[in-house]
Amino acid sequence: MASVTHDTAAAVKLADELVAEAKRKASYAAIDEHVNASTRVIGIGSGSTVVFCVDRLRERYTSESLPLLACIPTSFQSRQLIIEAGLPLSELNQFPEIDVAFDGADEVDAALNCIKGGGACQLQEKLVANAARKFVVVADYRKDSRVLGTQWKLGVPLEVIPMAYVPILAKLKSLGGKPTLRMAMRKAGPVVTDNGNFVIDAEFGEITDPVKLERELITIPGIVETGLFCGMAKWAYFGGQDGKVITRKV
């Protein structure tokens, strides 16, 4: 039994290392292709993959003396990453036009529509992505799908006004969704976003028309923003299990 447990732990560790390396290679490839001497303002997304984007950006900022004016964060996490890397920190109101924004995704379909918000940062992520001339998604092989909802089974994250979450749950059910209020793991009560809102995860199965679903969801009063990023990403970099990076663009 001890041997089986040890083997299982070793297999899990190896799988985690492969995923981390896939994220690193995809991040480095994206940064190297889209950041150059004319890049002044960069949007920095949230999540585990973006850690590697910041690592590579820090390396190049230091070694090449890149003339960056500002890095715009999408969350408390990305703000801290920017500060710790010694990169220039600013905000969207000061730099409303972003040259390029990098972010991860929970799932990406064949048209580069994304589900985002597993980390409950989708509102600020969408604001930064929308302000960017180029929005680049960076992910590992597990996030690459033909149709949204194929691999990501936790639903579409929705940032909602706390006072309206109950009627919103009812409305989502009437649309055929299976919504749940996201609860905190090490805190009593629901997850609270950086903006002071709640998050509802609404499962709709495979999403063959994310544009239509996004339109339906965003019209519900009390939903501040959805985790459906439709028609926003123009490039996606997926780190593979074999060590290669697959690039897709639309």
Q: Decide: 34 and 27 in contact? Cβ < 8 Å.
A: no
Give, in degrees to the nearest 5, the angle at Cα 18 between 13 and 23: 125
Establish whether 125 is a catalytic residue: yes
The tokens describing 213, both together, are 């679903």
Active-site residue identified among 125, 159, 214, 225: 125
Catalytic residues: 125
